[in-house]
Chain A
Amino acid sequence: MSSIFLSVLIVSSIGAALATLLVFAERYITNYGECEISINEGKKIRLQGGSSLLDALTRQKIFIPSACGGRGSCGYCKLKVVEGAGPVLPTEEPYLSPEERGKGVRLSCQVKIRNDLRIEIPPELLSVSEYECVCTDIQDLTYDIKQFRFGLKEPSRMDFIPGQYVQVLTPVYEDNPEEVYRAYSISSDPSEKEFIELIVRLVPNGICTTYLFGNIQVGDPVRINGPYGQFRLTDTEAPIVFIAGASGMAPIKCMLHHMVKTENKRKATYFFGVNTLKDLFLAEEMKIFESRLPGFRFVPVVASPEEGPGWAGEIGLVTQALERFSTDLVDHEAYLCGSPGMIDASIEVLRKHGIPLEHIFYDKFS
C-alpha cells in the first residue's frame, strides 16, 4: 500500500518539477521587457514586447490596413522598419519584392516586438481615427443600392476632403465569425461634419453589404475608421468631366456638394452609366445640383432602356456617350470612379481625344 502511494508521489513530483521548469522558462525566455517604437523619427511609444507590430500599433489607435486579421496572408500591412526587426521570416517572403526587402519593408503582422524599433509610416495613416457612430437613416435608392447616414458620436466630427472614403467595421454576426473592414466613399456634404452618408451596393455574399443590408437598422451603432484616400479635386479652373456608375456616384456627389458650398464656378459634366432605367437613382438631387451650379450638367447614360415611356436621354455605354461629346472634351480634367474595366475603357476614350494622363484622376475599385 505504502509503495503504491510512494511511487505515485514520486512520479507526480517529477511531473510537477518539469511543469515548474516550464513555467520559469516561459517567464524568462518569452519575456521581452519594455520596448520603444519610434515612428517617423518623431513619435515614440513604449510598450511591453511580445506582440506583433500590427497589434501594437492598432492598440495605439494607429490603423494599419489589414485584410486577413494578422494571419500573414494579405500583404496589406506593409511598412518600413528601419531598425530592429530581425531577419525576414519565411511567412513574409512571398509578399515582399527584392526592392522592398532592400528598403526594409516588412509585414507588420509578422514582425514580433522583441527590442526597440524604428519604423516609418505614411503620414496620412497617422491622421486616421476610429469613430463610434449611430445609423440615423437608411434609404432605398434602387433594388440593390441603399444610402446610409451615420451620425458621428465619438469623436463627433470628421474633417474630410471630398473624394475620401471610410472603412466600415462589420462585427461578428451569425454568418460572419470575425470582424472585417470594408471601404466605402463618403457621399455627403463635407461641410456637414457631424454625419456621413454612404452609397452602398449589395454584393452577392459580400460580408459587409449583407450585414448593412440585412442586419443594420436605424438606431444601431456602427464603427468606422477614416478618412482615407488621395482622390480629390484639383485647385485649377479647368472644366471637369465626371464618369461614375452605381455606387461610384458617392465621391462625385460629395465633390458636387463641396462645389456648391464653395461657389465653384468650374464647368462640369457628369456621365452616369447604368444598365436599365430602374438602375437610375438620385436624379432629383442631380437636378438640384444643376440649378445650384450653373456650369454643371448631369448626363445619365442607359445601356438598355426598358420598353415603355420613351427614354429621351443618352443610350448605350458610357464610353459611347463620351465619344459623342468628344469635341467638347479638350482642356477638361477627368475624375472617374468605378470598376477597373469601366475606368480603363473610359481612359482610352479620353486619351484618344486629347486629355493627357496627368489630367485624369481616378478611384479604382481596387
Chain B
Amino acid sequence: MKRTPELQRLEEILRVSRIVSGGFMGNDPRVLEEILDADAAEVSRHGYTTEQIARRMLELTKRAQAGLGTPVKLDEKREGFVDENRGQLVCPWPHAGRYLKTVTTLRRTDTGEIIRWSDLAVHMIGAHGFFQGRGSAFRLEPGDLVQILFD
C-alpha cells in the first residue's frame, strides 16, 4: 500500500530502532497503521481512551518514584518500584521532546501479574496510541493493561 514518506520513515525507525534493543515493533508482521487501528479498537471496546490510560500510568509512576528504587505500596491491589538509568530516549515520532529512561515495574498483589513500562512507552500510548508491536519486550496488550491498571 502506498504511504507517505514520513510514515515509511517512522515505521523504519520503529522497526530498526537504535533506541531499545529489538526495536519497538517486535516481530509483528503487520504495518504500523494496522497495529494502531487494531489497538485503538480494543481500547475503545474496553471503554477507555489512550489518554486516560497514559495519565493513570504516569500517576502510578510518580507515586512509585518516592521509593527511590524500593517498592512502594500504591493501593490495596498494587505495588510498584521505579528504576532510573542514565541517558535519554527520543520519541520516534518527529517532534521535539526527550524522555528519561525511567522504568516502572507494577505488581498486582492479588493476582501476581507484573508489567513494566518506560516513560517513553507511556508517551507513545498517550500521544500516538502506540502500544508497540507483538513480540516487543515492552508491548502492553491494551486489554490486559486496562485490567491491571483500573480493575
Contacts and interface: CB of A to CB of B under 8 A. Distances in A.
Interface of A: 67-69, 71-76, 91, 94-95, 175-180, 182-184, 201, 203-207, 210, 245, 247, 273, 275, 303-304, 317-319, 338-342, 345, 365-366
Given A205-B137, A339-B84, A75 B21 contact: no
B20 A205 contact: yes
Nearest to A365: B86
Nearest to A317: B68
Contacts of A176: 18, 21
Interface string B96-110: 101011110000000
B19 to A, nearest CB: 8
B90 A178 contact: no
Interface string B113-128: 0001000000000000
Contact of A365 (B19, B87, B92, B137): B87
A74 B90 contact: yes
B94 interface: yes
Given A183-B86, A204-B137, A341-B82, 6 more contacts: A68-B90, A204-B116, A338-B84, A342-B68, A365-B84, A365-B101
B68 A345 contact: yes
B138 interface: yes
A341 B84 contact: yes
B27 to A, nearest CB: 12
Contacts of A76: 90
A338 B68 CA distance: 10
A201 to B, nearest CB: 7
A317 B103 CA distance: 19
A53 B22 CA distance: 29
B90 A317 contact: no
Contacts of B49: none
A177 B16 contact: yes
Interface of B: 9, 13, 16, 18-22, 65-70, 82-88, 90-92, 94-96, 98, 100-103, 116, 137-138
B68 A183 contact: no
Contacts of A304: 70
Contacts of B13: 68, 71, 73
Contacts of B101: 203, 206, 365
A72 B18 CA distance: 14
Contacts of A341: 65, 68, 82, 84, 102
A231 to B, nearest CB: 12
Name A's interface SS. Answer: loop
28 contacts: A67-B90, A71-B9, A71-B13, A73-B90, A73-B94, A75-B96, A76-B90, A91-B94, A94-B94, A94-B95, A179-B18, A183-B86, A203-B101, A203-B103, A205-B21, A206-B21, A206-B85, A207-B19, A245-B68, A275-B69, A275-B70, A317-B67, A318-B68, A339-B68, A339-B83, A341-B82, A341-B102, A365-B100
Contact of A319 (B21, B65, B68, B82): B68
A220 to B, nearest CB: 19
A351 B70 CA distance: 24
Given A175-B22, A203-B85, A340-B84, A75 B90 contact: yes
Contacts of A183: 86-87
B68 A201 contact: no
A206 B137 CA distance: 11
A69 B18 contact: yes
B85 A178 contact: no
Contacts of A207: 18-21
Contacts of B82: 341
A183 B86 CA distance: 8
Contact of A72 (B67, B83, B94, B102): B94
A177 B18 CA distance: 8
Contacts of A205: 20-22, 137-138
B21 A245 contact: no
> Which 9 pairs between the two chains have the least Cβ-Cβ distance?
A339-B84, A365-B86, A74-B90, A303-B70, A180-B18, A207-B21, A341-B65, A95-B96, A205-B21
